[in-house]
Structure 1
Amino acid sequence: MKRINILFIALLALITVSCDSFLDETPDNRAEVDSQLKIRKLLVSAYSTGNYALVTEVSSDNVDDNGKSNPNTTRFYEQIANWEDITEVENDDPKTIWEGAYGAIAHSNEALAAIAELGEAELAAEKGEALITRAYNHFILVNVFCQHYNTGSSSSDLGIPYMETSETTLNPQYERGTVKDVYEKINTDIEAALPLISDDIYEVNAYHFTKKAAYAFAARFNLYYEKWAKAKEYASKVVTDNPSTQLRDWAALGALPRQPDPVTNAYINDAANLLAATSGSNIGLYFGAYYHGSRYNHSRKIADEQTLLAPLPFGGISGSDYNFGPFVYAGTNLDKTLFYKIPFLFEYTDPVAGIGYRRSVMIPFTTDETLLVRAEAKAMLGENDAALADLNAWSSNFFKGNEATLTQVNDFYSNLPFSSEVSASQKKRLSPKFTLATGTQENLIHYVLQCRRVLTLHEGLRWFDIKRYGIEVPRYQIQADGTSTVIDVLEVEDLRKAIQIPQDVVSAGFEANPR
């Protein structure tokens, strides 16, 4: 295995060192973390300020190229949408994702080192939070920057360094390892963390891994890890045997004024949210009622053919079928059909000059999405009726009471043509590395993937389903006459499904992803 020098990560791990400490008497002049209070404060920074969602969402099949004549784009967005290696600098670029995750991991490791020194028995809950945040940030890194886990090639697919200790040197050497290695270590951290986590140590639960948030993460991780029984078990600890009482009140959201600010504010403050993450990000601007980013976006064409307005097993779908319907914007160079959840916030540093930072709030885990994790796990376990029961619990709440029978699901997906470059549909050819039986199991998976695609629109999770299920993605460019042309295709096993490592990291000696 090639050994690498990644000074970049070392500097991130030393994030708490003062810039003025070079002439200090003690070379490693970190603030001493010598009390429970200091450990808890340190763990506030164990949550990344980077946001992966824009890169992964724009890479997915949830966006179209709305045409060369549309000027509302940047070189950064073009590189993402066209699956190029990203060289431009933006709030949401790969370097920010990388730095944010490894910076957060450094804080988790500092906390764990302090806990080991002070005594783990009295700091069990803090240890649980440190372990789960370390696991989650590595989970983001491996799924963004590597090929997806599978039981076949992951023992040789390039991984990312799993940082288990704080760095104390400026020139460390690391091995990149494999995706399999990273997943095994994430699993170890999750299993160690779950029994320890306690909601009692948090002042504001929304921004921390509570028990429910930790189990939701564990459920998603095990779904990606192809551990269907564990995914089902952990999801059930969140949504229980009566999921209808746990889900978002979509009808209440739909009753609000049809304006971005009221609905996004209500969304990010809902009890169905299991974790909130703030970041310096343009995502609320990009997926908002602005011309910004409108060339590569979720178009009405995608909505009609594949997502929000595409038919489902129980019938055709229009905006009136939703408890909280999509927002459709159509005009010259503005073709966006949006599912408003993500706020665009502006933090003024100088109100007079009108300058500041673009920010947003993402919700990485919700009860609704965790219910769909359980539905998928049940389908993979062959529990067809139970999987459909979860899907119906979700759909009857998300839509206005709509449910489907197993016969309807089978008839709908068996008769729906596969999506092609000529004619797009929601039904994609699935080529996972795990076994997927044709017939009812595959049809249920199509339905789960569609439900998740609609539910998590603009959140970036669709990209991971594309990778997990080996879905091919044509990039459609809409022409002036309304027709579309395929300008590129992301193949089933395309190397570009692993986002390229940031240029600065590669320049420091880190092995780049193959192309």
Structure 2
Amino acid sequence: MLTSCEVNNLDPQTALSETTAFQTPERIALAVAGVYDGGQSGFYAGNAVRGYTFGAAHIEQGDMRGEDMALAATFYGITYQNNYDPTQPNNVYYWQNAYAMINRANIVIAGLKTVQPSTALTQAQIDVYEAECRLLRAMAHHYLLVNFSRPYSDNPTAAAGGVPYRTTAVTGGASVDEALKQGRNTVAECYDKIIEDLNYAEEKLPDTRTGNLKITRATKGAAIALKTRVRLHQNNWAEVIKEANKLVSTAAPFTSPVGAYALTASPLGAFGSANKSNSESIFSMENNDVDNAGTNGAMAAMYSAVSTNGRGIVLISPILWNQPFFPAGDLRKAASAIAQDTPGSAGKGGNFTRKYPDVTTRSENAPIIRYAEVLLNLAEAIARTSTGVDTRALALLSAVRNRAVQTPADQYTAASFATNKDLVRAIINERRPEFLAEGLRWHDIHRLAQDADFKQADGIPSKAAIAISNFAPLYTNNSTTTFTREPAVPYSDFRFLWPIPAEELINNPTLAKQQNPGY
């Protein structure tokens, strides 16, 4: 069944079967919207909205797998302390919801093949619908790879190292039997299919849309931007540059010829009241006041301080706060960007982001990719392929950094770097404060895990301990500050990856033989 929703109104609509969903243009539009709903809702335990695959939960899980956000409660303790197993909710429901959404996409794609074009629904619009589904399908498979498979740099052609890349609709009967025969693709095969889907999306999607749909419905710019991320995970610097150059001008000010994307003047200009309408957000997952991840999942609930009526669960870690590349005068540390709690009745103390301030209706869209990421992706790829300190790479880095770091002494110049490797390191470092509380930290830890020069740790980094009773004194702007930490997990440890859920292994005899080692 396709549980559908209006494009601009996420109130659930009547469920449509795959045999009736493609009989009218209106029903087809609802079916496509239902694929987005599958990415936004992401149910927990069957009925509680949490935001797997692309909603709130994916952001929180991405942060809790890394060290730049800390945990002031035990709410995400299993992920934060790396104690998952094949039955634990977060990895189980991520897998289930991701593949449920993928199957929705595949059902819609198959249904679209049966539709005869008309004046009410042209072939071009049918192609756009398919492109949207293929973009979402590609994203879901990529996120599954980042959590359940080793990075591309680690033997991408190893048998059954990736995830099952599903492109066929499973609707019952023979399709179920066929699906149960499909095991894990190689990582390389998965990436090839991801790029194939995103290439189709780029070709068929509109350059832009109007209103909130410019951000919450797939566009050509979103497909290109996601390709820069995927190619970065492949260490394919030439392809990152080729794709990013479609969106980034050769010199500052950097404004995209596709979609007119541009950095906002403020480092938090894509958040708060501007979350649904700004020049920087390329693609986000829609939430609203009647359909969001609730008090147990929404970003505003989890990331906001108790002092601002949030739950005070996930705060900025002193590990990130005290890094030299995150100076005291950085506007991302200013009162306009940070809310503070005091220990005691207001939680454990510490600094919380103001990126998601709507604690009342919890309506903020979940960010997927911003123009700032495209600029830093391009900067890294250029710097990695340069023999010296490349001026364009430096300009791209500075465009992102200098809107937050406005003191000249803290800004970078060519003299700041002796080699191109030093510049690459600064670009990777800049991603950490720029994308804090957006779930991207794990992506970088994962893709760089085997990088000889820039791996972030030997596996999963150590993190600020949940047991810390008062975080407030730990924000010293001094990287030598010590405090209790959760232990690191080596890359060789089986816990670097999430396990395939036990239920999947029971139901799928092929995957039962392909569980991640150690589980």
**TM-score after normalising by structure 2:** 0.73
> Which structure shows the bigger proportion of residues in helix conformation?
1
Structure 1 residue 159 and structure 2 residue 136: aligned?
A: no
Matched, 1:195 2:213: no
Cα distance per residue 1:429-467 (max 9 Å; x no partner): xxxxxxxxxxx2321221111111111101111111111
Residue 290 of structure 1 corresponds to which residue in structure 2?
306
Alignment of 1:269-418 (within 5 A): 269-277=277-285, 278=287, 279-280=292-293, 281-290=297-306, 297-299=315-317, 301-306=318-323, 310-311=324-325, 316-319=327-330, 326-332=337-343, 333-345=347-359, 360-382=364-386, 384-400=390-406, 402=408, 403-410=411-418
Q: Hey, what does 1:247 align to over in structure 2?
A: 262
Match of 1:107 in 2: 104
Secondary structure of residue in 2 paired with 1:335 = strand
Note the alpha carbon deviations across 1:87-114, whole angstroms, 9 max, x for none: 8877xx3344333322322232222212
Query: AA paired with 1:406?
Result: A
2:76 corresponds to: 77
Q: Percent identity?
A: 21
Amino acid at match of 2:101: A
Read off the aligned partner of 1:104 and give its amino acid letter: M
Q: Distance in 2 between matches of 1:304 and 1:464?
A: 20
Root-mean-square deviation (CA, aligned residues, Å) is 3.3
- Residues 450, 100 of structure 1: alpha-carbon distance in 2 compared, 3 angstrom cutoff: same
Residues 105-164 of structure 1 deviation map (CA, whole Å, 9 limit, x = unaligned): 223222221232235844332232222222112112221222222263453463221111
In structure 1, how many angstroms separate the alpha carbons of the residues matched to 2:332 and 2:364?
29
* SS at 2:366 equivalent: strand
Q: Which moved more, 1:238-247 or 1:174-183?
A: 238-247
2:29 aligned residue? 40
Give the Cα separation in 1 of the matches to 2:438 and 2:167: 29
User: Out of 422, 429, 432, which is 1:443 matched to?
Assistant: 422
The residue number in structure 2 matching 1:475 is 463
The alpha carbon displacement at 1:374 in A equals 0.7
SS at match of 2:491: coil
Identify if the C-alpha distance between structure 1 residues 272 and 153 changes in structure 2 by more than 3 Å, giving closer, same or farther: closer
* TM score, norm. by length of structure 1: 0.74
Give, in angstroms, the shift of residue 35 of structure 1: 4.3
Give the aligned partner of residue 264 of structure 1.
272
SS at match of 2:433: helix
Distance change >3 Å, CA 98–CA 338, structure 1 → 2: same
Conserved? CA contact 1:16–1:30, under 8 Å? no
- Matched with 1:415 is none
* CA distance in structure 2 between the partners assigned to 1:252 and 1:493 by the alignment: 37
Q: 1:85 to 1:111 in 2, by over 3 A?
A: same
**What is the aligned length?**
430
1:288-327 Cα distance to aligned partner (Å, 9 max, x none): 112877576423x324423xxx346xxx432558788541
CA deviation string 1:260-313 (max 9, x = no partner): xx96222443221111213523332221112877576423x324423xxx346x
Partner of 1:208: 217
Would the aligned equivalents of 2:225 and 2:374 in 1 still touch at CA under 8 Å? yes
What 5-or-longer segments of structure 2 have no aligned partner? 5-16, 41-51, 118-122, 256-260, 450-455, 475-481
Separation in structure 1 between the aligned mates of residue 26 and residue 208 of structure 2, nearest angstrom: 14
- TM-fit CA distance, 1:29: 6.4
- 2:302/2:313 contact within 8 Å kept: no
Give 5+ residue unaligned stretches, structure 1.
1-13, 18-27, 66-71, 255-261, 348-357, 411-439
Report the residue type matching 1:219 in the other structure. T
What is the identity, as a one-letter code, of the residue corresponding to 1:474? Answer: S
